[in-house]
């Protein structure tokens, strides 16, 4: 080991970072070199003198201040993570909301129908299938209703809203007087009898099916048609088709005691009435209530 | 697992998720070391307290950005050294404009040299002499000697914190020790 090597090793020696091999070499060198031995001794003396500068304890008030800051930050983090978890749960549950509402709406609708007609005529399996189908359609409509915030999604939301309002009105009418009861009543009522006499039973169901769809759909499209504008036919048709889809299970259940032909003509009437109602609602809104 | 057995990095991650006890453990491990690092570097109690608070505040604020692959010790000492360097810069600016600070330094130098060899130097006097001698060292030499001697960091660790090589750090420490040796030569005779 040269004197230069010894000098570069001295700091490692003092700091306790020296290898055994280097230490042996350094010790061997200083036994032969008085200058390096003296240098090492002086360095060691200074190094030891530095020990007099002892550690001081952090004052209690400073410790308290720092720990208080840290505690508040930890609490804020926990609160944020709880909010985050809640939001995560909300996001996770969001797709389930239309399903839940769909099921609830289907049960409510079936409840309204069962209060006015005897559903025991419907086979339990058919009833279950209709219930599931109705839940599915409602779910789809609610899904559209809660969908994104884009302009396009907003237009579809307006159709979904109109169709749900229309179905509410339709079920309200049904609660007052179901279509078969109305057909029956009008066929024998003095004023309406001459008109309905000219129609077959199928024609009567078509007419009533159309009226029971047109009136609610017209009102619903008018009152929810804030996005009405050009193309009321297209808009009316789309909203009307949604409404018919929502109404279909109800028509099926109400037609249970009748022949398949009645079901088909009623359904046809409902489709025509819905589209006409949708068109009329949007057109009137656009024409007379533009805002 | 008990907090005592956890690594600094693990504790920091736990603190980032809201565990205050994890911070308490980290604080316990570092507060004394950092406080004395600030004290020895700046030699002012109030400044050391402020910087200790600032250093932990930065740790608290950065808790969510902390990456576990970052060596916590290196990270916190880097924060501390940056704070010290900021303070040095601030002080050197002030020294240029303030006569009183300049006088303090000149007086310290004079006192150190005028004391000369003294017999029966008390420990507190040696400490005072050491403190003043260290204060006269160039900034980098002083930092390296403090980090090595008092913080027990290896030259490799110091080099990482100060962005230099271990050899360069060792060299600067050597030069600093030579300067201290000259300034404190009279202690040997005492």
Q: ipTM exceeding 0.90?
A: no
Looking at the complex, report in whole angstroms how far the Cα of residue A87 sits from the nearest Cα belonging to chain B. Answer: 17
Report the sign of the C-alpha dihedral through residues A110, A111, A113, A118, in that order.
positive
What pLDDT, in 10s, does the model give residues B26-35?
A: 999 999 999 9
For chain B, give percent helix, strand, coil, nearest 5: 80, 0, 20
Same domain, A271 and A159: yes
**CB B8, CB B26: distance < 8 Å:** yes
Contact state of A69 with B57 under an 8 Å Cβ cutoff: yes
CATH class for the region spanning B99-190: mainly alpha
From chain B, the residues in CB contact with A6 under 8 A are: none
Contact state of B56 with A71 under an 8 Å Cβ cutoff: no
Question: Token pair of A228, please?
Answer: 């009405």
> Does domain B1-97 bear CATH number 3.50.30.30?
no
Full-model pTM: 0.56
What pLDDT, in 10s, does the model give residues B34-68?
A: 999 999 888 889 999 999 999 999 999 998 888 88
Same domain, A117 and A170: yes
A60 near B CB under 8 A? no
What pLDDT, in 10s, does the model give residues A264-274?
A: 998 999 999 99
Question: Is residue A80 one of the residues assigned to a domain?
Answer: no
Same domain, A159 and A227: yes
Looking at the complex, report in whole angstroms how far the Cα of residue A247 sits from the nearest Cα belonging to chain B. Answer: 52
What gap in Å lies between CA A33 and CA B81, rounded to an integer? 39
Q: Taking the C-alpha atoms of A280, A216, A127 and A242 in order, what is their torsion angle to the nearest 10 degrees?
A: 30
Q: Select from A245, A108, A109, A265 the least CA-distant residue to A180.
A: A265
Same domain, A41 and A114: no
| Predicted pLDDT of residue B189 | 57
Domain chopping of chain B, boundaries = 1-97, 99-190
**CB B129, CB B184: distance < 8 Å:** yes
- Chosen for mutation from B126, B129, B142 (greatest number of chain A CBs closer than 10 Å) is B126
Looking at the complex, report in whole angstroms how far the Cα of residue B123 sits from the nearest Cα belonging to chain A. Answer: 7
Same domain, A137 and A233: yes
Same domain, A106 and A34: no
Question: Is residue A71 one of the residues assigned to a domain?
Answer: no
SS (H, E, C) A92-123: HHCCHHHHHHHHHHHHHHHHHHHHHCCHHHCC
Same domain, A98 and A42: no
The arithmetic mean of pLDDT across residues A178-199, rounded, is 80
Q: What is the CA radius of gyration of chain B?
A: 19
Domain assignment of residue A28, given as a range: 3-50
Structural domain total, chain A: 2
Tens digit of pLDDT per residue, chain B (190 long)?
688 889 999 999 999 988 999 999 999 999 999 999 999 888 889 999 999 999 999 999 998 888 888 889 999 999 999 999 998 888 777 766 543 343 333 333 334 444 444 444 567 778 888 888 888 899 899 999 999 999 889 999 999 999 899 999 999 999 999 999 998 887 765 4
Closest Cα in chain B to A10: B174
Question: Is residue A208 one of the residues assigned to a domain?
Answer: yes
Looking at the complex, report in whole angstroms how far the Cα of residue A279 sits from the nearest Cα belonging to chain B. Answer: 56
A70 near B CB under 8 A? yes
Contact state of A55 with B32 under an 8 Å Cβ cutoff: yes
């Amino acid at each position: 080991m040269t004197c230069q090597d010894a000098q570069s090793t001295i700091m490692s020696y003092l700091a306790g970072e020296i290898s055994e091999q280097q230490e042996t070499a350094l010790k061997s060198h200083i036994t032969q070199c008085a200058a390096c031995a003296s240098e090492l001794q002086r360095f060691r003396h200074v190094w030891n003198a530095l020990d007099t500068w002892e550690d001081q304890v952090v004052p209690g008030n400073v410790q308290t201040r720092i720990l208080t800051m840290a505690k508040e930050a930890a609490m804020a983090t926990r609160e944020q993570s709880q909010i985050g978890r809640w939001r995560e749960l909300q996001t996770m549950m969001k797709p389930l909301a239309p399903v839940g509402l769909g099921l609830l709406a289907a049960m409510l609708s079936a409840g309204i129908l069962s209060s006015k007609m005897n559903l025991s005529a419907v086979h339990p399996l058919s009833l279950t299938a209709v219930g599931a189908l109705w839940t599915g359609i409602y779910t789809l409509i609610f899904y559209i209703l809660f969908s994104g915030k884009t302009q396009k999604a907003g237009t579809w939301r307006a159709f979904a809203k109109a169709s749900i309002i229309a179905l509410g009105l339709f079920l309200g009418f049904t609660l007052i007087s179901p279509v078969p009861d109305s057909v029956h009543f009008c066929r024998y009522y003095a004023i309406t009898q001459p008109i309905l006499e000219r129609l077959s039973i199928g024609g009567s169901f078509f007419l009533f099916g159309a009226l029971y769809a047109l009136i609610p759909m017209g009102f619903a499209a008018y009152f929810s048609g804030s996005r009405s504008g050009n193309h009321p036919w297209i808009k009316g048709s789309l909203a009307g088709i949604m409404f018919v889809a929502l109404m279909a299970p109800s028509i099926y259940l109400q037609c249970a005691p009748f022949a398949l032909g009645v079901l088909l003509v009623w359904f046809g009437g409902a489709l025509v009435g819905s589209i006409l109602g949708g068109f009329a609602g949007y057109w009137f809104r656009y024409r007379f209530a533009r805002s | 697992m008990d907090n005592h057995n956890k690594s600094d990095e693990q504790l920091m991650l736990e603190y980032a998720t809201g565990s205050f006890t994890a911070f308490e453990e980290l604080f316990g491990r570092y507060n004394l070391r950092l406080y004395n690092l600030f004290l020895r570097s700046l030699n002012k109690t109030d400044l050391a307290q402020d910087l200790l608070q600032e250093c932990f505040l930065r740790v608290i604020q950065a808790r969510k950005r902390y990456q576990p692959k970052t060596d916590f010790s290196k990270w916190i000492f880097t924060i501390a050294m940056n704070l010290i360097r900021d303070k040095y810069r601030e002080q050197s600016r002030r020294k240029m404009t303030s006569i009183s600070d300049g006088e303090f330094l000149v007086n310290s130098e004079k006192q150190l040299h005028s004391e000369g060899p003294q017999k029966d130097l008390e420990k507190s006097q040696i400490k005072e002499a050491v403190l003043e001698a260290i204060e006269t060292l160039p900034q980098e030499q002083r930092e390296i000697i403090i980090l090595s001697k008092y913080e027990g960091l290896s030259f490799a660790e110091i080099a990482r914190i100060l962005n230099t090589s271990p050899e360069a750090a060792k060299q600067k420490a050597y030069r600093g020790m030579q300067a201290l040796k000259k300034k404190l030569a009279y202690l040997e005779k005492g």
